[in-house]
Amino acid sequence: MDQNMGKMNRFLRLTAGFYLLGVGINRQSNLLMVAGSMKIATGLTKWCPIVHILEKKAQHKEAANKENPHELDKTQVPVT
C-alpha cells in the first residue's frame, strides 16, 4: 500500500484522532470514538481511502483531457 499523505497531514490526523477518541470516551459517544479511531488509523498507516479515490478521479480526468484536448470539460464555460 502506497502512502498518500505527508508528515503534516499525518500529524494533524493523529492529533485530531486522539482528541476525538478522548472526547468520545469522556462523553461515552460511539460516533466520536469511531471517528477518532478512523483518524488514528489513517495517521498510523499513512494511507487514506478518500484521498486515494480523489487522486484516482483526478488521474482519470487528466488522462481523458490528454486524449481529447479540444473537448470542453463540463465545468468549463466557453469564452466568446
> Do the domain assignments include residue 48?
yes
Averages of pLDDT over each 10 residues, the chain, 80 residues:
89 98 98 97 94 87 72 62
> Do the domain assignments include residue 31?
yes
> Do the domain assignments include residue 27?
yes
| Contact assessment for residue 18 and residue 40, using Cβ atoms and an 8 Å cutoff | yes
Report the number of distinct structural domains present in the chain. 1
- Residue range of the domain that includes 36: 7-67
Between 7-27 and 30-45, two packed helices, what is the crossing angle to 10 degrees? 160
Number of neighbouring beta carbons within 10 Å of residue 51: 13
> Do the domain assignments include residue 51?
yes
Q: Cell 464555460 maps to which residue?
A: 77
Q: Is the pTM of this model over 0.95?
A: no
- Please report, to the nearest 10 degrees, the dihedral formed by the alpha carbons of residues 53, 59, 63, 68 taken in order: 80
